[in-house]
A and B are shown apart, each in its own frame.
Chain A
Amino acid sequence: MMKKIQQNLFNTWYNSLLTLISLWLIYWISFSLISWGFTQAEWGVLQANLRLFFLGRYPVDLLWRPWTILGIIMGLGTLSWRLRKGKILIWFLGFLVISWLLTGGLFLETVKLDDLGGLVLTLLTALVSIVLSFPFGVLLALGRQSNLPVIRWLSIGYIELIRGLPLIGILFMAQVMVPLVLPPDIRPDRVVRAICGLTMFSAAYLAENVRGGLQSIPKGQTEAAKALGLSTPLVLALIILPQALKAVIPTIVGQFISLFKDTSLLAIVGLVELLGISQSILANPKFLGRYGEVYLFIALIYWIFCYSMSLGSKKFEQQL
């Protein structure tokens, strides 16, 4: 043990110096952070606003619905851990039930999408955009490889146009330009507009990721499949896409993680997702100046979700 330490950390004079400096830095940072956490920080701001952070302004008398949803998600989690088949179907049905519980309609009191906020809104926008952008992305990637010039040029045009625009620009277009162009009666909710913006953006990047996977499949496979008499859709669905998508799972998940974090940009266009509601909480005269506590807390929440996404994708890859 001692030998290992000496070999790796103190083998030359400059390495010893580096080790000492790093140790001192680690000690200093963690000590000041911990002493701040115990002496100066006032964590009451989190306790008092816990419901706001997680649910935003969700009506208080309907709180049983988010709790039920949490139960459903946990149940689905354990179920899909046990089950071998039908996971996707279960999650799809679960998603329908969850969105019904969350927003109401059909025997339940409706909750306006605008009243959602905090973590729920972050998760909703991220999840729906992820689910929607995946098929769009795959279609765009296929379109870009297509032999039909119109489809190919349209796909290329879309991908290059969207990739050439900053996400915040697209979000501003969705929130500010759409109302100017569309009359009020067919104007969608601003949450829906945000989801559209995120989906459009993410789909273009996803298409390029998927194209990487498609190009990694040798041409001989297509030719062999065609020689066996498979039609083009079958070649894609059975031979090409399964291999191509498997090859690009890490980059796709990376794209989804960054999409999840990009939802914080919605705070700039006035939606009260996790960051937006935090800024509003910080404007409460009772909690002025408590930004350290609040921002650390939401950073922790973001980290937990992003890290579990990357853990989940690792497990998913091993299973395939």
Chain B
Amino acid sequence: MLNQLNGKTLLLAMILVVTTLSGCGSNESNNTINNSSRLDTVKSRGTLVCGVYGNLPGFSFVDESGEYSGIDADLCRGIAAALFDDPDKIQFRNLSAQERFAAVKSGEVDLLSRNTTWTISRDTSVGLEFAPTIFYDGQGMMVKKASGAKELADLNNKSICVQSGTTTELNLADQMNKRGINYTPVVFENPDALYAAYEQGRCEGATSDRSALIARRASLPQPDDHVVLDVVMSKEPLAPAVANGDSTWSDTIKWITYALIQAEEFGITQENLSSFENSNDPSIKRFLGLEGNLGEDMGLPKDFAARVIKHVGNYGEIYQRNIGEPLGLERGPNKLWTNGGLLYSPPFR
């Protein structure tokens, strides 16, 4: 191993030096490889490489048994299940905020499932293709119950803890200016430090994504002394993404994600899946691949949706397992459209 490593390292060290010195001029050589879709690459490789954050409660983290957990990780598992009938044929890769887009575009990861907000610039100029939103988040505000604050206006002339360098900081400024509220921002680099300061009373309010606030609230010594206000200061639709220009692959991700939502709408769960095998409903038959060939037409197995449900469950189950139960966050906008939420899957036919 040492010899191999040594050789590789030497070679790479030289290459690195050369590229450092000469700048990276040759981008043309890159484009010659991509004639086939990434779907074929993933299938022939036999594993899915999935980029996650790895440090966000409820979305992706390593649990005590060493497995990746969270809604982002489960989406990756669902896709591996659809392709290979095995949710463990997957390689998770932690990505920092800075390297995530480069990692997708260079093909380091097949899929970015990393609590990434879908915005117009990321969809167009950054060169990503977004699959449907799997979590509608928004910026919120947490205050101490004793302060009696009910809305943002009650925080006039108070100090607010916020993380630096994030859209959160800018959104806060926008929203407060719009309402003409004076406030003192107390800025932190690290979220742990932010909530420690809030707990010690260095600021009256703490702002972040609502899912994060509710998770943090549960970890404070007296959770009931704190409330997350009803106000939503920004739209944060978190969606999986792939590289632009490969519609076979982006369709795959898109429709596997929709399958999770559609399964919940049909009421198909991990437990009762077998009882639907004799269903007479033609739309359910088509969905589960018992009839027609929706899956095969897109290069997937016939029963891809059934495989996904068998291994990871429908959207509601994934939500409950990763966010509803451990973080105590209600579905809110993440309900099905039939229940007044925003989740809506186009028909499977």
Give residues in A with beta carbon < 8 Å to B: 48-49, 51-52, 56-58, 60, 95-96, 99-100, 103, 105, 112, 114, 128, 132, 136, 158, 161, 172-184, 188, 190, 192-193, 195-197, 199-200, 268-272, 276-277, 279-286, 288-289, 291
Give residues in B with beta carbon < 8 Å to A: 1-2, 5-6, 8-9, 12-13, 15-17, 19-21, 24, 26-27, 29-30, 33, 54-58, 60-64, 66-67, 69, 91, 93-96, 98-99, 102-103, 105-108, 192, 195-196, 215-216, 218-220, 326-327
Given contacts A96-B1, A280-B62, contact A286 B326 (CB under 8 A): yes
Establish whether residues B54 and A285, one from each chain, have CB atoms under 8 Å apart when the complex forms: no
Establish whether residues A99 and B93, one from each chain, have CB atoms under 8 Å apart when the complex forms: no
Establish whether residues A288 and B108, one from each chain, have CB atoms under 8 Å apart when the complex forms: no
A51–B21 Cα distance when bound, in Å, is: 42
Contacts of B1 on A, CB cut-off 8 Å?
A: 96, 99-100, 103, 105
Establish whether residues A60 and B57, one from each chain, have CB atoms under 8 Å apart when the complex forms: no
Q: What are 25 A-B residue pairs whose CB atoms fall within 8 Å in the complex?
A: A95-B2, A172-B98, A176-B99, A177-B19, A177-B24, A178-B19, A179-B102, A180-B106, A183-B33, A197-B16, A270-B54, A276-B94, A279-B54, A280-B61, A280-B62, A280-B94, A281-B62, A282-B55, A282-B192, A283-B57, A284-B63, A285-B215, A285-B219, A285-B327, A289-B195
Contacts of B6 on A, CB cut-off 8 Å?
A: 132
- Closest residue of chain B to A278 (Cβ to Cβ) is B55
Contacts of A158 on B, CB cut-off 8 Å?
A: 17
A175–B99 Cα distance when bound, in Å, is: 8
Establish whether residues B102 and A196, one from each chain, have CB atoms under 8 Å apart when the complex forms: no
In the assembled complex, the CB of A302 is this many whole angstroms from the nearest CB of chain B, namely 18
Known contacts A276-B94, A279-B54, A285-B327, then 9 further A-B pairs from the complex at CB < 8 Å, ordered by chain A residue: A57-B62, A181-B24, A192-B5, A192-B8, A193-B12, A280-B54, A281-B62, A285-B57, A285-B58
A272–B108 Cα distance when bound, in Å, is: 17
A176–B17 Cα distance when bound, in Å, is: 15
Cβ-neighbour of A199 out of B13, B69, B192, B220 (below 8 A): B13
In the assembled complex, the CB of B328 is this many whole angstroms from the nearest CB of chain A, namely 9
Given contacts A96-B2, A284-B63, contact A132 B9 (CB under 8 A): yes
Contacts of B67 on A, CB cut-off 8 Å?
A: 57
Cβ-neighbour of B55 out of A51, A175, A279 (below 8 A): A279
A173–B220 Cα distance when bound, in Å, is: 39
A95–B5 Cα distance when bound, in Å, is: 13
Establish whether residues B13 and A283, one from each chain, have CB atoms under 8 Å apart when the complex forms: no
Contacts of B2 on A, CB cut-off 8 Å?
A: 95-96, 99
Number of A-B contacts (CB under 8 A): 146
Establish whether residues A173 and B16, one from each chain, have CB atoms under 8 Å apart when the complex forms: yes
Contacts of B108 on A, CB cut-off 8 Å?
A: 179
A4–B160 Cα distance when bound, in Å, is: 53
Establish whether residues A49 and B94, one from each chain, have CB atoms under 8 Å apart when the complex forms: no
Say whether chain A's binding surface is mostly helix, strand, loop, or mixed.
helix
Establish whether residues B106 and A179, one from each chain, have CB atoms under 8 Å apart when the complex forms: yes
- Closest residue of chain A to B60 (Cβ to Cβ) is A283
Establish whether residues B29 and A288, one from each chain, have CB atoms under 8 Å apart when the complex forms: no
Contacts of A180 on B, CB cut-off 8 Å?
A: 24, 27, 30, 102, 105-106
In the assembled complex, the CB of A126 is this many whole angstroms from the nearest CB of chain B, namely 14
In the assembled complex, the CB of B90 is this many whole angstroms from the nearest CB of chain A, namely 12
In the assembled complex, the CB of B323 is this many whole angstroms from the nearest CB of chain A, namely 9
In the assembled complex, the CB of B12 is this many whole angstroms from the nearest CB of chain A, namely 5
Indicate the member of B95, B106, B107 with the most A CB atoms within 10 Å. B106
- Closest residue of chain A to B25 (Cβ to Cβ) is A181
Given contacts A195-B9, A285-B58, contact A172 B19 (CB under 8 A): no
Contacts of B192 on A, CB cut-off 8 Å?
A: 282, 289, 291
Indicate the member of B20, B30, B33, B66 with the most A CB atoms within 10 Å. B66
In the assembled complex, the CB of B71 is this many whole angstroms from the nearest CB of chain A, namely 12
Contacts of B105 on A, CB cut-off 8 Å?
A: 180
Establish whether residues A192 and B33, one from each chain, have CB atoms under 8 Å apart when the complex forms: no
In the assembled complex, the CB of A289 is this many whole angstroms from the nearest CB of chain B, namely 4
In the assembled complex, the CB of A71 is this many whole angstroms from the nearest CB of chain B, namely 19
Given contacts A132-B6, A182-B15, A285-B327, contact A52 B66 (CB under 8 A): yes
Establish whether residues B55 and A283, one from each chain, have CB atoms under 8 Å apart when the complex forms: yes
A99–B2 Cα distance when bound, in Å, is: 8
Contacts of B17 on A, CB cut-off 8 Å?
A: 158, 200
In the assembled complex, the CB of A20 is this many whole angstroms from the nearest CB of chain B, namely 28
Establish whether residues B57 and A284, one from each chain, have CB atoms under 8 Å apart when the complex forms: yes
Given contacts A177-B24, A285-B218, A289-B219, contact A200 B16 (CB under 8 A): yes
Contacts of A179 on B, CB cut-off 8 Å?
A: 102-103, 106-108
Contacts of A197 on B, CB cut-off 8 Å?
A: 16
- Closest residue of chain B to A112 (Cβ to Cβ) is B91
Establish whether residues A114 and B16, one from each chain, have CB atoms under 8 Å apart when the complex forms: no
In the assembled complex, the CB of A33 is this many whole angstroms from the nearest CB of chain B, namely 16
Establish whether residues B54 and A283, one from each chain, have CB atoms under 8 Å apart when the complex forms: yes
Contacts of A60 on B, CB cut-off 8 Å?
A: 66
Contacts of A136 on B, CB cut-off 8 Å?
A: 13
Establish whether residues B16 and A288, one from each chain, have CB atoms under 8 Å apart when the complex forms: no
Given contacts A112-B91, A180-B102, contact A288 B9 (CB under 8 A): no
- Closest residue of chain A to B327 (Cβ to Cβ) is A285
A277–B26 Cα distance when bound, in Å, is: 36
Indicate the member of A60, A99, A176, A286 with the most B CB atoms within 10 Å. A176
Establish whether residues B102 and A48, one from each chain, have CB atoms under 8 Å apart when the complex forms: no
In the assembled complex, the CB of A274 is this many whole angstroms from the nearest CB of chain B, namely 13
A136–B9 Cα distance when bound, in Å, is: 11
Given contacts A196-B16, A200-B16, A280-B54, contact A114 B93 (CB under 8 A): yes
A-B pairs, top 4 by smallest CB distance, nearest first, are: A288-B219, A283-B61, A289-B219, A179-B106
Contacts of B54 on A, CB cut-off 8 Å?
A: 270, 272, 276, 279-280, 283
A275–B282 Cα distance when bound, in Å, is: 52
Establish whether residues A270 and B106, one from each chain, have CB atoms under 8 Å apart when the complex forms: no
- Closest residue of chain B to A174 (Cβ to Cβ) is B16
A200–B19 Cα distance when bound, in Å, is: 14
Contacts of A103 on B, CB cut-off 8 Å?
A: 1
A184–B215 Cα distance when bound, in Å, is: 39
